[in-house]
A and B are shown apart, each in its own frame.
Chain A
Amino acid sequence: MYDDRKYTEENMPKTGILLEVENTELKDINFGLVTAARDTGANEVLAFTTEELGTEAQNDLARYGVSQLIRLRTDSADITSSPDNCAAACVQAAREYGLEYCLGLATAFGRDIFARMAALLDVELAADVLQIDFKAKTAVKSHFSGKTMATVSLQETPGLLTVRPNAISPVEQPATLESSVFQADIQSQAKVAVKEIKTSDDRKMDLTEAPIIITGGRPIGKPENYAMLQECADVLGGAVGASRAAVDAGYAPHSMQVGQTGKTVSPNLYLACGVSGAVQHFAGMKTSKVIVGINKDKDAPIFEKCDYGIVGDMFEVVPALTKALQQEKQG
């Protein structure tokens, strides 16, 4: 796609990405972001982080094509104590490194920091994009709760974008990585302060980050029955979701809800068990790469809009699936 353009050291677009790190671990969803920023190898990717990363993480980043890893630091203001400070440091780094584009993940953290950056810089922000075409200077994002796709133009510099986790599959493209520290010189701009992070006891993979999701709808019947889906998710390396009907019935917390009024997810594989297939549910998961419906009604609407289907009782099909997957793993 870029064959007709010659990239030299000077005109190779520099794209910056803001990494997401949790408990000093680099999340897997960062690699798709690197691929998005790298764009068939035509861009130089600078990865920014507020935390110290180990050698393993550095090697992984190099493998996907990051050539500079830059730790953001400030002496004058605490980056982690306020999203305002973090955004101000990112803005300064974007200017200092002459970034043409800044990419983040459309997660709670990324959405917040990038919108703060957009406000500070007074430039456009393309939120939650699914594709980027750097050459045409456009990005594709959802409009009308996933019913249509909009192509928006990226006219300003730096171009700010957040990318839907898992929407762009990571592709390895080795680069030589150098690490450095960027000392941002910002006055504290903290208008909001992080008072506390409340952590939940049972730490699960976040739905929006999961490469595989198995969802249970209303027929799950009671909260305890989600254990059946969790068991399957554990073998798959995925997370468990719920429909709104199941959430409204009190079987699952709202944080597990997929759909228009819940989470928007884009996993590689989405297994919908006992889910009828309402448009509002599809609004949150239709960009999944493959959708499988498991429903006991052969005429359920879900089968009209998914890739593979099994007609059957989820209380039989799911355990059978878990068992078969476990057997595969063992031998």
Chain B
Amino acid sequence: MQIYVCLKHVPDTAANITLKGQADYEAGAVKFVANPYDEYAVEEAVQLVEKDGSGEVVLVTLGPSEAVTTLRSSLAMGATRGLLVKTDEKFCDSKTTARALHAAILQDGSPDLIFTGKVAVDTEGSQTPYRLARLFDLPVANEVSALAINDGSAVAERELGAGNREVLEMKTPCVIGTTKGLNEPRYPKFPDIMKAKKKEIKELALADLDPALDPRPNLGKLEPVPERSGATMMEGSVEESVAQLIRTLKEGKML
């Protein structure tokens, strides 16, 4: 089985984001990791290839040169090799991203399955798997938290809200966007980390892949979210503070 996993190099969600200029941030000051949702994708792909007994899991990233470290740590989860399409644009638009990932995969081989995460936690686009599927003319399901692959078909489940779940059926190859619940991504052990150091990561520049690909960031401004300045405390006994809270909320038309 030939499986491709799109993996984004993103700031750790616990990191503080220091903004600079109109629409930029200090990337040097931040720890970068694999997009958390993409780890479910890697885990699922590795398990499928392990079960199948043959094939490879190829990780594909569009990102800066530094993304090599993120690819290495994800390769340690058992993926075979990596492809890094290099761009220094931090906020590459989604259309270009999908085209770049499509071109990189197409150039490399023919996918039996393509995995992505459901959303990138930096730009929160929630659309790349759909665009990728369209470019490949393949079926797509996103926010998948349960998956069964049988020869030629896939059955994917997604949460609809209020505890309801949607079961989708499609032919393979297909594009699957993964989310929490699908599996428990493994923590690589030391020997796996050592092994990953020797795994192949092919690097190529975005323009070499396709000169027509021109990232157009669609970002006018980036601002910090104003933090609340601290709570107004309700005082007195439990009954008193509860009464005061209800009064305050009513005055603010929150109740």
Contacts and interface: CB of A to CB of B under 8 A. Distances in A.
Interface in B187-214: none
Top-4 shortest CB links A-B: A200-B163, A309-B231, A191-B139, A206-B161
Contacts of B180: 254, 261
Interface string B209-235: 000000000111111110110111110
B49 to A, nearest CB: 23
Given A127-B124, A143-B123, A304-B230, A194 B168 contact: yes
Interface residues of A, number: 86
A82 to B, nearest CB: 9
Interface string A117-138: 0111010110110000000001
Q: Tell me what chain B mostly uses at the interface: helix, strand, loop, or mixed.
A: mixed
B243 interface: yes
A320 B246 contact: no
B161 A208 contact: yes
A293 B233 CA distance: 9
Given A280-B14, A304-B230, A115 B127 contact: yes
A152 B219 CA distance: 5
Interface in B1-53: 11, 13-14, 16-17, 19, 23, 25, 36
B162 A203 contact: yes
Interface residues of B, number: 76
B242 interface: yes
B240 to A, nearest CB: 10
Interface string B158-186: 11111111111111001000001100000
Interface in A129-187: 138, 141-153, 155
A292 B245 contact: yes
A127 B238 contact: no
A244 B96 CA distance: 35
Given A127-B124, A192-B139, A324-B239, A147 B225 contact: yes
Nearest to B179: A261
Given A108-B161, A191-B174, 12 more contacts: A83-B168, A115-B129, A115-B130, A119-B134, A150-B219, A191-B138, A191-B139, A269-B255, A293-B231, A305-B230, A317-B241, A324-B246
Given A191-B138, A269-B249, A308-B248, A108 B160 contact: yes
A289 interface: yes
A193 B230 CA distance: 49
A269 B246 CA distance: 12
Nearest to B145: A254
Interface string B134-150: 10001111110000000
24 contacts: A108-B160, A111-B142, A115-B126, A115-B129, A125-B127, A127-B126, A147-B17, A148-B223, A149-B224, A150-B219, A151-B222, A191-B140, A192-B139, A192-B170, A195-B168, A199-B163, A200-B162, A202-B163, A203-B163, A204-B163, A254-B180, A307-B231, A310-B241, A317-B241
Contact of B231 (A143, A144, A286, A303): A303
Contact of B121 (A145, A153, A290, A292): A145
A109 B160 contact: yes
Given A255-B163, A304-B230, A119 B131 contact: yes
B232 A194 contact: no
Interface string B73-108: 000000000000000000001110000000000000
